[in-house]
Amino acid sequence: MTAVSAQRPGVARRVAGRILSLWIMPVALVLWEVVTRWIQAVYFPPPSTVLVRLHELWFSGSWRTFFLTDDAIGNFLPSFTRLAIGWVLGCAVGVGVGVALGRSTRLSAYVDPLVHFGRSIPPPTLVPVFLVLFQFGGSMQVATIVFGVVWPIMINAIEGARYVDRQYLDTAQVFSLSRLDRLRRVILPAAAPKIFAGLRISVSLSLILMIISELVGSTDGIGHRMLQAQGLFDIPTTWAAIVLLGLMGFLLNTTFLLVERRILAWHRGARRTD
Amino acid sequence: MLEINHLRHSYGSHEVLGGIDLKVDEGQLLCIVGPSGCGKSTLLRSIAGLLKPTQGEILINGVPVAGTPDNLAVVFQDYSRSLFPWMSVADNVALPLRRKGMSGARRRTSALEALEQVGLEGAAAKYPWQLSGGMQQRVAIARALAYRPAFMLMDEPFGSVDAQTREDLEDLVLQVRGVHGMTIVLITHDIDESVYVGDRVVVLSKAPSRIVGDLSVGLPYPRDQIATRQLPEFVRLRADVGRLVRGVPG
């Protein structure tokens, strides 16, 4: 009885706190609306105009297509596909190579300079190279995303796999774990907090690279659509694309953090009790 | 069972083990005691195959140790870094059994049995870091028991727990000794503990360490934290071991 009554105000207060902490969003929106209406600048349409355009252009479709319009499907789908393929490939290569390098001092002695050279190249500078290599079409964008995200993932995976606690490895050896078990059940989980730090960076990075690559050379995708609108001086559509990208980034990050919280729950728990 | 011949180990020019000869019989509970920094852990790591000795050889059942023997389990001092925080208690205990070709269900049953032996059947689904230090060390012991080793090494297993828990854990070791005919080597710097738990105590000198004493402990079983420690025999042995550890001639 006491436990219940003690818990209630706590939860209520937490929810109220959550809602209150969101006050900044509507205030900022209203402020933006007021300022833009007041200065009447062509390049800064009020958010109401932008949101109406966002809705009309992409989210006013039939319920059968989840309210997406043809324009949305024609541009979101290719963008998302590239993003997903690029990110997954980058993760696979980054984590795979990173863990191998982290576990082998001999291998990393050879390859480390290469890794540090590779990570120092700003990925957008390679877009022209990939354009020549892959011509127009999806593979150029995918290549740009993979090249961009692979480095932070790899660097973190190397670090994570290299500094696995000595005692974890001793324990694995004492109990004669197989090589595969040692990798899957000891090294990878031990390195997971570091690996996830790299993955977290790569989520936002992949979105940035998707747009950059589409702005430079593409016939569809959100970046391409944005460029098109800009060419037609369709300022509200350009802004609508910016808002859309902001929302996408927010959604991707939130989803990632949810997954990370689940997978690394043990890590937070163990750190709290240390 | 275990045979160590002329074992030496040096880190650079610093000699830690200065020639150790030791034989341990099957089913024995041997305590190795010595002053801190005397190379007890080096000796244990060599037996466990985690360290290649500079000189000499270690035989288990007549077979030289190269890498880690299959029939050996270790309980480390630092339980928090020896149990894996990303696995539940039951999974931690069951993990080494994967190598034995058991089915998932069999592994789980064995793990639960071992947890019951150490009085932790209720903690199977918890994570190690949700348990107290003493309970975590029990989990580590359960993991070693489930593995059914012929040979269990314990490296200052109770060095990081409070006095009350320490006594409970000592009694737990006495209780599981002889299970599956297991031979136990327990390393400690605690003189009382070595006499209370062991049926034989070997004393190491300061580095480069050598064996300076080898005593047989004739205390009756079952041992009791209070009654056993009051026996004249216990008091005499403790004094003998204490003198040997400090290097005072008896």
pLDDT score of A1: 38
Give bridge partners of residue B121 from the DSSP assignment.
none
More confident residue, A14 or B7: B7
Asked whether residue A269 is domain-assigned, the answer is no
pLDDT of A5 above 50: no
pLDDT band with cut points at 50, 70 and 90 for residue A274: low
Among candidates A104, A140, A101, which has minimal Cα distance to A119?
A101
Cβ-based burial of A58 (10 A; exposed 0-12, middle 13-18, buried ≥19): buried
Asked if B68's CB is within 8 angstroms of A270's CB, the reply is: no
Spatial neighbors of A150 by CB under 8 A, at least 6 apart, are A90, A93, A94
Secondary element (H or E) of residue B2: strand B2-11
- Domain spanning B2-71+149-246, CATH architecture: 3-Layer(aba) Sandwich (3.40)
Distance CA A188, CA A172 (A): 13
Selecting from A171, A181, A266 the residue whose C-beta is nearest the C-beta of B85 gives A266
pLDDT score of A80: 93
Nearest CA to CA, how far is B216 from chain A (Å)? 29
Q: Which residue of B has its CA nearest to A174?
A: B68
pLDDT score of A19: 78
* B73 at interface of A, judged by CB pairs closer than 8 A: yes
Q: How do the domains of chain B map onto residue ranges?
A: 2-71+149-246, 81-148
Asked whether residue A228 is domain-assigned, the answer is yes
Distance CA A198, CA A201 (A): 5
Asked if B73's CB is within 8 angstroms of A181's CB, the reply is: no
> How many domains, chain A?
1
Asked if B84's CB is within 8 angstroms of A189's CB, the reply is: yes
B73 contacts on A by Cβ (under 8 Å): 174-175
pLDDT band with cut points at 50, 70 and 90 for residue A136: low
Give bridge partners of residue B153 from the DSSP assignment.
B74, B185
Query: B181-205: buried (b, 16+ CB within 10 Å) or exposed (e) per residue?
Result: ebbbbbbbbbbbbbbbbbbbbbbbb
Q: Which residues of chain B have pLDDT under 70?
A: 249-250
Asked whether residue A56 is domain-assigned, the answer is no
A80-134 residue pLDDT tens = 999 999 999 999 999 999 999 999 989 988 998 999 999 899 888 888 888 888 8
Going edge to edge, which strands form the sheet with B55-60? B14-24, B2-11, B55-60, B63-64
Per residue, the 3-state secondary structure of B164-188, as one string, reads HHHHHHHHHHHHHCCHHHCEEEEEE
Q: Please report the ipTM that was assigned to this predicted complex.
A: 0.90
pLDDT score of B129: 94
Asked if A170's CB is within 8 angstroms of B50's CB, the reply is: yes
Distance CA A177, CA B99 (A): 6
| Mean pLDDT calculated for residue range A49-69 | 90
pLDDT of A3 above 50: no
Interface test with B, best of A163, A164, A169, A171 (most B CBs within 10 A): A171
pLDDT score of A4: 43
Distance CA B249, CA A12 (A): 73
CATH number at residue A183: 1.10.3720.10
Size of interface A-B (CB pairs under 8 A): 74
Asked if A266's CB is within 8 angstroms of B78's CB, the reply is: no
Per the CB < 8 A criterion, the answer to whether A148 and A123 are in contact is yes
Asked whether residue A220 is domain-assigned, the answer is yes
Domain that holds residue A201: 75-264
Selecting from B74, B129, B147 the residue whose C-beta is nearest the C-beta of A270 gives B129
pLDDT score of A2: 40
Interface test with A, best of B86, B100, B102 (most A CBs within 10 A): B86
A117 CB neighbour count, 10 Å cutoff:
9
Which tokens is A261 given?
């919280």
A165-220 residue pLDDT tens = 999 999 999 999 999 999 999 999 999 999 999 999 999 999 999 999 898 878 88
* A181 at interface of B, judged by CB pairs closer than 8 A: yes
Query: A181-194: buried (b, 16+ CB within 10 Å) or exposed (e) per residue?
Result: bbbebbbbbbbbbb
Task: Return the sign of the alpha-carbon dihedral for residues B158, B164, B170, B175.
Answer: negative
| Mean pLDDT calculated for residue range A238-257 | 93
Distance CA B180, CA B176 (A): 9
DSSP, res B65? P
Per the CB < 8 A criterion, the answer to whether A209 and A221 are in contact is no
Q: Which residue of B has its CA nearest to A193?
A: B86
% of chain A residues with pLDDT over 70:
96
B67 contacts on A by Cβ (under 8 Å): 173
Asked if A189's CB is within 8 angstroms of B74's CB, the reply is: no
Per residue, the 3-state secondary structure of chain A, as one string, reads CHHHHHHHHHHHHHHHHHHHHCCHHHHHHHHHHHHHHHHCCCCCCCHHHHHHHHHHHHCCCCHHHCCCCHHHHHHHHHHHHHHHHHHHHHHHHHHHHHHHHHHCHHHHHHHHHHHHHHHHCCHHHHHHHHHHHHCCCHHHHHHHHHHHHHHHHHHHHHHHHHCCCHHHHHHHHHCCCCHHHHHHHHHHHHHHHHHHHHHHHHHHHHHHHHHHHHHHCCCCCHHHHHHHHHHCCCHHHHHHHHHHHHHHHHHHHHHHHHHHHHHCHHHHHHHHHC
Selecting from A185, A270, A274 the residue whose C-beta is nearest the C-beta of B95 gives A185
pTM for the complete prediction?
Answer: 0.86
Nearest CA to CA, how far is A71 from chain B (Å)? 46
Distance CA A122, CA A125 (A): 6
pLDDT score of A137: 67
Residues counted in chain A: 274
pLDDT band with cut points at 50, 70 and 90 for residue A48: very high
B76-133 residue pLDDT tens = 988 888 999 999 999 999 999 988 888 899 999 999 999 999 999 899 999 999 999 9
Secondary element (H or E) of residue B204: strand B200-204
Distance CA B18, CA A42 (A): 86
Residue A109 one-letter amino acid: A
pLDDT score of A8: 56
B88 contacts on A by Cβ (under 8 Å): none
Q: In angstroms, what CA-CA distances link B23 with B4, B30, B206, B217?
A: 6, 10, 21, 16
B85 contacts on A by Cβ (under 8 Å): 266-267, 269-270
Q: Distance from first CA to last CA of chain A, Å, rounded?
A: 33
SS3 label, residue B152: strand
Selecting from A167, A174, A185 the residue whose C-beta is nearest the C-beta of B81 gives A167
pLDDT band with cut points at 50, 70 and 90 for residue A6: very low
Nearest CA to CA, how far is A177 from chain B (Å)? 6
A267 contacts on B by Cβ (under 8 Å): 85-86
Asked if A181's CB is within 8 angstroms of B68's CB, the reply is: no
Selecting from A173, A178, A186 the residue whose C-beta is nearest the C-beta of B84 gives A186
